[in-house]
Structure 1
Amino acid sequence: MRLKRFRNFIKNKLYKVNNSVNRYKLSFNKTIYLFLAYFVIILIFSLILYSPITQNETFAGQKITPLNYLDVVFTTSSAFSDTGLVIADSYNQWNIFGQALIATLIFSGGIGVFALKIFIINWIFRKTKITLTDMNLMQSERGGSGFRNPTQVVITSVKFLIAVTIIFGFSLSFYFYFTDVKMTPGIKDYLGSNYISPKGSWSLAFRFGFFHTISALNNAGFDIMSSNSIMPYYGAVELQICMIILLIIGGIGYPVIFDIKLAIEHKIKGKKGRHRFSLFSKVTFVIYFLVFAIGTLLTFLLETTSKDPHTYWNKIYVPDELMAEYNQYLSDSSLVPSSQLQYYLNNGQMYGSVFQKSFGIVFINFSSRSAGFTSVVISDFSFPTVLLIGLEMIIGASPASTGGGIRTTTFALFIMAIISMFRSRKDITLFKRQISKENTEMTFKVIALSTILIIIGTFILSTSHSLYGGKLNNINLTGIFFNVASAFGTSGLSAGGISKLNVASKIMLIIIMFVGQFGISSTLLVWKRKKNKESQFKYLEEELAIG
């Protein structure tokens, strides 16, 4: 009897607490509440990661400097926003516990905290009632709203993503156990000892398999392989294809996954006619792969036509101390190189054969959208290619996906709006559907605000340059723009110098990372009034000369 009364007492208390929390949520703007929830999660995880139990004191006989709290907050934010920008290399800075926490942040941040909550409540605990508040929070969190059957979309997608994580996690674990690193002699000399090979170690292989599966599926870009992403596996085409598959699954969006499920069911059940894909799925598919195809083609043309011997397609790896002699040799081939320089010349081109270099371009154009894995050194690309990749990162992935950026649908509407303007058409149509004026207006607002945010971010990061007393001295304005674009697209690719940024620059990147993840349109809701007071009168309308 006492036990029963105690249970009822606890149940009533929990019920009251839950009601209080729900009333508290209703009193807040949903996006503000979302930011507060994320703030609490980052605070808790950053405090744990800041503790000595998560960071290595030594690694491979070398002393590891512990990160200060701001750098830990930066890393935590980067993991939770699925970006991948880091202050220190993840493979040697964090121990197993620290890497597990980062993987947890990546998984929960990619799928979505409130999406996971809905999945747990509805599917695991079999409760069919989902509050409207939680549904709105989930849609704001994923940077998309208005898709059909949101509960079913979330449950189907999360189940599928968990299944993919398990299947690819085990598959890659066996791959890493039986397969050694694959790289050219030039890349091997470039990396030195700054990488780990898990071959022959089940402990490392399972850690590699699941960590990189989670990171790739959630378009995070974190790795525990080396000081330069997945470069030790530059020649492992099979591994990179697996990662591309994971990147696409994570980047196309929940509604598309659900739409594909409906199409498969339609086929299996033998229903009449074809399954009609939603406008969202059609636009997402076309733009996602169109941007990839155009980006790959342009990158290939830019790199193969480059005459600079130090760019990606032509590069031979030579260490900095021999660079002066190498440049003299390039200007006058009659000079006899020293034995040291001859060794590197004999290694051949750093990025190997034509096929290897071509596939490297394919991989970077898939990865740049929002993933952040790279098998090459970004600074080895020519100047136009770096700008091109930066633009791809800004476009990003699809709404309601694990990626960031302005989103593929926004880019599609922007291009169609420009085409309609040149054709003197007032309406925008896509796949025989007319787009609402509100959608079009929001598209231009997103583009404008994204541009302003990136300009402000580039300006603030420029204060870290040595010209202004900062520590950045080997990165130009293009590299700074590239890092800002990477943060906004939650990509994680870096032109270098992240660890040398000043406090203001790091805080700015943290803000940009979360704006990129939530989406500009969702972030705008923070400043939206609940009730708009309409004016009782209107002013005279007049044209103003522009442009």
Structure 2
Amino acid sequence: MKSANRPPLRSALYLALSFAVTALIGGILLWLPWMHGEKLSFLDALFTSTSAVCVTGLTVVNTATTFTLPGKLVILALIQLGGLGIMTFSTLFFILMGRSVPVIESLSLKESFAPYHGVHLGSLILTIVIYTLGTELVLTLLLIPAFWSSNPGEGLFHALFHAVSAFCNAGFSDLPAGLTSYSRNLYLPTVIALAILAGNTGFPIVFEAVQRLRSRGIRKWSLHTRLTLTTHLILILMGGLLFLIFEKNRAFTGLSLPEKILNAFFLSVSARTAGFNLIDLSRFGEVSLYVLIFLMFVGACPGSTGGGVKTTTFGVLVASVWSRLRGYSRATVFRRTIPQDIVFKALTLVSLYAFTIFLAQFLLILSAPGHTFASSGTEFLARLFETVSALGTVGLSTGITPQLSPWSKVVLIFTMYAGRVGVLSLAVLLTGLSSRPKEFYYPKEEVLLG
């Protein structure tokens, strides 16, 4: 079984090291004196770099006022690297140089971005890169009118920065107040929301759409695409309606009905997993924060720039439960049976995510003052929110991030890292789990449930 373990182990090791080294290099660069105008500790520089390369968006300093133009360019480069994936860029380098792509990278990329077999790696990578750069260019042009000012160069940079940050679902803004001054603006939030959806819907769906346009005849969309888009749409509608119901007379007070609707659905889109907000989250009620935690936990679609357990994972588990309730022995959806190993993988992923949240939350509480429950207020919910936001690479915050202790920042750095690399990949790396099932079984014995 050792030979079966090597490919997933080597792939997980490459992925983990590439993100770790990039975050470290980025932290060193941001720590250089000419990269920032204010005093910046190395820990805060590393936190910012990790947040950028993991496309999270959590910040301990104000990006707009702390970093100079070279520093913001470094953050922008880290966002682009993290959004597309370092492995994608290294594979593109091999293709452009006319060299053969290592087998491990080839298999990992095909597994991440193609839900079916027989895909040519070169065509897959070029489609991803062209789609990304083309979309970001169009988004930049669309955002220029929103950021246009007396300084055309400054407006262009704002447009480019937000186009890349939104498409990569990073949540970084180079404006001092972020996007909170645009809660009454209908144009910019709409463009940003479309940019987020363009990035977090997933490259496999884009690639499948391109393949359908190229091929003759009409084929059914793959189960992956149908399940992804269905879950995606349901979550957006559900989140938007719940925010509209719970916050129409609280956080959305003073807004017109169209502005309330736009703010509600913008937040529903952004929570999975971009991290932009038009209204300070400290104004939201606890019920809405729990809805946000759920949306951040589920996250974006597979093979996208976003994080979370992914929409298909959630969809597979819902399909499994619903199938059991209807008497089916296997998970079925859209008149298709989902393989058992996919169901087990979804269960494993959700269990690991839940355990990681519990562990990170526990460590954050350890670093906090030992308040009694009666005097702690909403600190527990705030730290839980921060933990899920970091693991889901979302970047939304209730406002406690800048006040965190150095130990808490270290905990969130590792949490963001785990969220971007993937807890399943880290589990493979740390435990040597095999992607192939062991071909033997022990005798069966019943256990009681419930």
**TM-score (normalised: structure 2):** 0.91
Q: Any conservation in 2 of the 1:475–1:497 contact (CA below 8 Å)?
A: no
Q: Any conservation in 2 of the 1:147–1:255 contact (CA below 8 Å)?
A: no
CA distance, structure 1, for counterparts of residue 442 and residue 242 of structure 2: 49
| Residue 313 in structure 1 maps to residue 286 in structure 2 | no
Q: Any conservation in 2 of the 1:464–1:500 contact (CA below 8 Å)?
A: no
Following superposition, the deviation at residue 86 of structure 1 comes to 0.3
CA distance, structure 1, for counterparts of residue 421 and residue 20 of structure 2: 14
Following superposition, the deviation at residue 535 of structure 1 comes to 10
3-state SS of paired residue (1:226): coil
Matched residue, 2:29 = 48
Partner letter of residue 317 of structure 2? F
Matched residue, 1:32 = 13
Partner letter of residue 109 of structure 1? G
| Structure 1, unaligned runs of 5 or more | 1-24, 57-63, 178-198, 315-348
Following superposition, the deviation at residue 434 of structure 1 comes to 1.2
Distance 1:96 1:424, change over 3 A: same
Distance 1:399 1:535, change over 3 A: closer
What do residues 196-239 of structure 1 show as CA deviations (whole Å, max 9, x unaligned)? xxx11112111101110000000000001123x21122222111
Following superposition, the deviation at residue 153 of structure 1 comes to 2.2
Distance 1:28 1:416, change over 3 A: closer
Distance 1:301 1:506, change over 3 A: same
Q: Any conservation in 2 of the 1:143–1:518 contact (CA below 8 Å)?
A: no
| Residue 132 in structure 1 maps to residue 132 in structure 2 | no
| Residue 365 in structure 1 maps to residue 268 in structure 2 | yes
Following superposition, the deviation at residue 438 of structure 1 comes to 0.6
Answer 1 or 2: higher relative contact order, Cα 8 Å, separation at least 6. 2
3-state SS of paired residue (2:332): strand
CA distance, structure 2, for counterparts of residue 35 and residue 73 of structure 1: 16
What do residues 49-95 of structure 1 show as CA deviations (whole Å, max 9, x unaligned)? 11111001xxxxxxx3x221111111100000000000011010100
* Correspondence 1:155-166 to 2 at 5 A: 155-166=126-137
Partner letter of residue 156 of structure 2? F
Matched residue, 2:138 = 167
CA distance, structure 2, for counterparts of residue 265 and residue 407 of structure 1: 28
3-state SS of paired residue (1:29): helix
Report which stretch shifted further, 452-461 or 245-254: 452-461
Report which stretch shifted further, 413-422 or 364-373: 413-422
Following superposition, the deviation at residue 523 of structure 1 comes to 2.7
Matched residue, 1:386 = 289
Q: Any conservation in 1 of the 2:80–2:164 contact (CA below 8 Å)?
A: yes
Following superposition, the deviation at residue 424 of structure 1 comes to 2.5
Partner letter of residue 185 of structure 2? A
Q: Any conservation in 1 of the 2:275–2:395 contact (CA below 8 Å)?
A: yes
Task: Report the number of matched residues.
Answer: 442
Matched residue, 2:52 = 79
Following superposition, the deviation at residue 107 of structure 1 comes to 0.3
Q: Any conservation in 2 of the 1:153–1:254 contact (CA below 8 Å)?
A: no
CA distance, structure 2, for counterparts of residue 445 and residue 100 of structure 1: 38
Following superposition, the deviation at residue 539 of structure 1 comes to 6.1
3-state SS of paired residue (2:337): strand
* Correspondence 1:184-263 to 2 at 5 A: 199-227=149-177, 229-263=178-212
Partner letter of residue 183 of structure 2? Y
| Structure 2, unaligned runs of 5 or more | 1-5
Q: Give the superposed CA RMSD.
A: 2.7
Following superposition, the deviation at residue 264 of structure 1 comes to 3.0
Q: Any conservation in 2 of the 1:397–1:404 contact (CA below 8 Å)?
A: yes
* Correspondence 1:240-389 to 2 at 5 A: 240-266=189-215, 271-272=216-217, 274-304=218-248, 311-314=250-253, 349=254, 352-389=255-292
Report which stretch shifted further, 74-83 or 153-162: 153-162
Following superposition, the deviation at residue 128 of structure 1 comes to 7.0
**2:324 alignment partner, one of 413, 418, 421:** 421
| Residue 480 in structure 1 maps to residue 383 in structure 2 | yes
CA distance, structure 1, for counterparts of residue 277 and residue 440 of structure 2: 57
Matched residue, 2:344 = 441
**TM-score (normalised: structure 1):** 0.75
Distance 1:201 1:280, change over 3 A: same
Q: Any conservation in 1 of the 2:166–2:196 contact (CA below 8 Å)?
A: yes
| Residue 149 in structure 1 maps to residue 122 in structure 2 | no
Following superposition, the deviation at residue 250 of structure 1 comes to 0.5
Partner letter of residue 36 of structure 1? L
CA distance, structure 2, for counterparts of residue 354 and residue 44 of structure 1: 47
Report which stretch shifted further, 394-403 or 356-365: 356-365
What do residues 159-181 of structure 1 show as CA deviations (whole Å, max 9, x unaligned)? 1111111222233234411xxxx
What do residues 336-368 of structure 1 show as CA deviations (whole Å, max 9, x unaligned)? xxxxxxxxxxxxx3xx22221221111111111
Matched residue, 1:401 = 304
Q: Any conservation in 2 of the 1:54–1:94 contact (CA below 8 Å)?
A: yes
Distance 1:284 1:536, change over 3 A: closer
Following superposition, the deviation at residue 46 of structure 1 comes to 0.9
Distance 1:167 1:276, change over 3 A: same
Identity within the alignment, %: 24
3-state SS of paired residue (2:35): coil
CA distance, structure 2, for counterparts of residue 81 and residue 208 of structure 1: 21
Q: Any conservation in 2 of the 1:143–1:517 contact (CA below 8 Å)?
A: no
Partner letter of residue 336 of structure 2? R
Following superposition, the deviation at residue 26 of structure 1 comes to 7.7
Distance 1:287 1:128, change over 3 A: farther
Following superposition, the deviation at residue 528 of structure 1 comes to 4.5
Distance 1:479 1:536, change over 3 A: closer
- Which one has a bigger Cα radius of gyration? 1
Distance 1:531 1:520, change over 3 A: closer
More helix by share: 2
Matched residue, 1:93 = 66
Partner letter of residue 192 of structure 2? M
CA distance, structure 2, for counterparts of residue 535 and residue 165 of structure 1: 44
